[in-house]
Amino acid sequence: MILRTAQFCVARKLTTLNLVTVVENQPVGARCRPGETEGLRERKKAATRRALGLAAMRLAIERGLDNVHPEDIAAEAGVSTRTFNNYFASKHEAICALAMERGTLTGAALRSRPAGEPLMDAITTAVLGPYAHGERPPGRDWVQGVRLVLRSAALEGEYLRTQHATQKALAEAIADRIGADPAADMFPAVMAGAVTAAVHVAHERWLASDPPVALVPLIRLALSQVRYPCGATPTANSLAVGPQAADPDQALRHAET
């Protein structure tokens, strides 16, 4: 989850800004087939939001959270302050935007996993999807900057809001996958809470590591430990309870392979 925006490397910022430029310069009416205009508009909005989120995080790491203002973020992303205000109510919300997006992407990815795939395998793949740049350790200075930003008391409220939204999106996707009613069945919310907590713990370990380590292996390990006590969870697209789990040591060894 959140501790979370850390792996969005500076190099990706340029890619995102280029995407914004390309979309803005497309003659929408001339090149889009009927029915595509709305989709193009949504992609443009998503690209602009992502560019602002990347800019907010990068500037906060470079300058310190207190020394970054909405107009700075807007200028870094190549848009007006008015545009920034159309997307975010504060710089804190902008900094957390990438984590919020990651939650949405995880829910969508889980819904798209093969129907016969075991639930925890599908969740693990969906959760790891947005962390494309987390397979290698980052630089020490980058981690130090991220640590100062994300552990700031000023971000706590926005972080909790983002975490709640991410957990809710995941719970809804789990409920859809197993055919549960989230209003009546607690399992999707409980499972989503466990997964969210596991990712949070992985991020905390990642931030505390010295020397820096890669994030993805930590998330994968944390999720394997959610798998360990879940030998009797509902199977994909079913509310049926599976057979009793094997002995814990064997289950854990299996989860880590």
pLDDT at residue 21 in the model:
26
pLDDT at residue 33 in the model:
53
- Do 84 and 110 have their domain in common? no
pLDDT at residue 251 in the model:
38
In order along its 257 residues, the chain shows pLDDT tens digits of 333 333 333 333 333 322 222 222 233 333 445 455 668 888 899 999 999 999 999 999 999 899 999 999 999 999 999 999 999 999 999 999 988 999 999 999 999 999 999 999 999 999 999 987 788 898 888 888 888 888 888 888 898 899 999 999 999 999 999 999 988 999 999 999 999 999 999 999 999 998 999 999 999 999 998 876 655 555 544 443 334 433 433 433 444 44
pLDDT at residue 27 in the model:
31
- Domain boundary among the residues 95, 111, 145 is at 95
- Do 89 and 112 have their domain in common? no
> CA distances (Å), 65 to each of 6, 70, 74, in order?
14, 11, 15
- Do 233 and 248 have their domain in common? yes
Residue (of 73, 95, 74) closest to 5 by Cα position: 95
- Do 224 and 179 have their domain in common? yes
pTM of the model: 0.71
- The Cα 107–Cα 246 span in angstroms is 30
- Domain boundary among the residues 30, 63, 95 is at 95
Residue-wise pLDDT for 218-244, tens only, equals 999 999 988 766 555 555 444 433 344
- Do 90 and 111 have their domain in common? no
pLDDT at residue 250 in the model:
43
pLDDT at residue 82 in the model:
96
- Do 196 and 123 have their domain in common? yes
- Do 183 and 146 have their domain in common? yes
- Do 87 and 10 have their domain in common? yes
Residue-wise pLDDT for 26-49, tens only, equals 333 334 454 556 688 888 999 999
- Do 229 and 103 have their domain in common? yes
- Domain boundary among the residues 46, 78, 95 is at 95
* Domain containing residue 169: CATH number: 1.10.357.10
pLDDT at residue 13 in the model:
34
For residue 136, give its domain range: 97-255
Q: Is residue 44 packed enough to be buried (19+ CB in 10 Å), middle (13-18) or exposed (0-12)?
A: middle
